[in-house]
Amino acid sequence: MTAAIVGWAHTPFGKHSEETVESLIVRVARDAIADAGLEPKDIDEIVLGHFNAGFSAQDFTASLVLQADPALRFKRATRVENACATGSAAVHQGVRAIRSGDARRVLVVGVEQMTTTPGPEIGRNLLKASYLPEDGDTPAGFAGVFGKIAQGYFQKYGDKSDALAKIAAKNHRNGVNNPYAQMRKDLGFDFCRAESEKNPYVAGPLKRTDCSLVSDGAAALVLTDISSALSHDKAVAFRSQAHVQDFLPMSKRDILRFEGCGEAWRKALDRAGITLDDLSFVETHDCFTIAELIEYEAMGLAPEGEGERAILEGWTEMDGKLPVNPSGGLKAKGHPIGATGVSMHVLTSMQLTGNAGGIQVKGAELGGVFNMGGAAVANYVSILQPIR
């Protein structure tokens, strides 16, 4: 263990037309530093996760973090991007800076503002996270990509509409008690399962309730080395991390297996010296319900083709053997691309310090985070545990 999270901040996710990328960044940067009990002058390095891809007219955004306080001027600041895993890419880069000895305290911020972009442009922007020579003309954009994945999965293993609706219902039920969630409404299984005017098919077998929400928001955290973390009121250490990058074209891999996800989980669990059974909960990347279903299999919770057992038999419910997405996941919380991975680490830290309120998993001791960019292309896993 070389780094720990000692402070954090999180805006509610949703539609924030009164905000800008800059104001969201400044808000969480200030709050996270204060939450860590530090001053801006104490920060050695800044890492910003911001996907953009056309969502913001203002690019070159790393230095916007300096707007939070004049004392941040002349600090190292870098923007990183890895599609929907941009937030975790920023977190992992911050940990590497500490591991190298080049920094003791790192501020990591994730941000995105998507809702001010017209709908057709949102679809085009998101589709840039796929391989355009193969997927550039996919109807319904990135939802269409995952619609094809769901269709292929159904063709191979049978209709899993019940399982997808159960996943959506679970995550929306969990999100009711998350004050940061964009949609705090228990939609119920019946609504998620049935096609309706309010829940139409979007792509292939995926309905609106199978798709994560377009969102604005930001999250931030402060990392320190372990020796410094011990002097803080709260500290959540990285027991292990893994980052696995796979081919971008889906034609070069078996897209129904999420092999990069599986490899990242195997590496992270091995480095931590634990098994999946040792985890208290997991926050996983449910950009679409089919993604969460396949991730059950990739992480080793269920055999290939049998992921539905995990949800239909209640394993991943709040009171199950491995609660998955107690926060409500991207499905209920929202998915402001650059902020998502940072949010996952923040909410996991809240769980492990007993500060998660209505979404608290009882007796949480070890948490797993899986954040994915593209269709299982960028795969990040973190195993976190409290040390204070």
**What are the domain boundaries of the chain?**
3-117+214-229
Q: Does residue 103 sit in helix, strand or coil? A: coil
CB 159 within 8 A of CB 169: no
Catalytic residue among 16, 92, 243, 335: 335
CB-based contacts of 74: which residues, under 8 Å, 6+ apart? none
Residue 354's Cβ-count burial label (10 Å; 0-12, 13-18, 19+) is middle
Q: Does residue 238 sit in helix, strand or coil? A: strand
CB-based contacts of 118: which residues, under 8 Å, 6+ apart? none
Q: Quote the pTM value.
A: 0.98
Is residue 261 annotated as a catalytic residue, yes or no?
A: no
CB-based contacts of 59: which residues, under 8 Å, 6+ apart? 52
Catalytic residue among 50, 84, 172, 192: 84
pLDDT on residue 248 = 98
Q: Model confidence over 177-213: pLDDT tens digits?
A: 999 999 999 999 999 999 999 999 999 999 999 999 9
CATH superfamily of 3-117+214-229: Thiolase/Chalcone synthase (3.40.47.10)
Q: Model confidence over 102-133: pLDDT tens digits?
A: 999 999 999 999 999 998 999 999 999 999 99
3-state helix, strand, coil in the chain (%, to 5): 40, 20, 40
| Mean pLDDT, all residues of the chain | 97
- 142 band by pLDDT with thresholds 50, 70 and 90: very high
CB 90 within 8 A of CB 46: no
CB 99 within 8 A of CB 223: no
State yes or no: pLDDT of 388 exceeds 90.
Answer: no
CB-based contacts of 376: which residues, under 8 Å, 6+ apart? 246, 255, 258, 259, 260, 261, 294, 298
| CA–CA distance, 351 with 281 (Å, rounded to integer) | 9
Q: Model confidence over 11-70: pLDDT tens digits?
A: 999 999 999 999 999 999 999 999 999 999 999 999 999 999 999 999 999 999 999 999
Q: Does residue 240 sit in helix, strand or coil? A: strand
Tokens describing residue 220? 């931030």
- 1 band by pLDDT with thresholds 50, 70 and 90: confident
Is residue 10 annotated as a catalytic residue, yes or no?
A: no
pLDDT on residue 18 = 96
The percent of residues in the chain predicted with pLDDT above 90, rounded, is 98
State yes or no: pLDDT of 285 exceeds 90.
Answer: yes
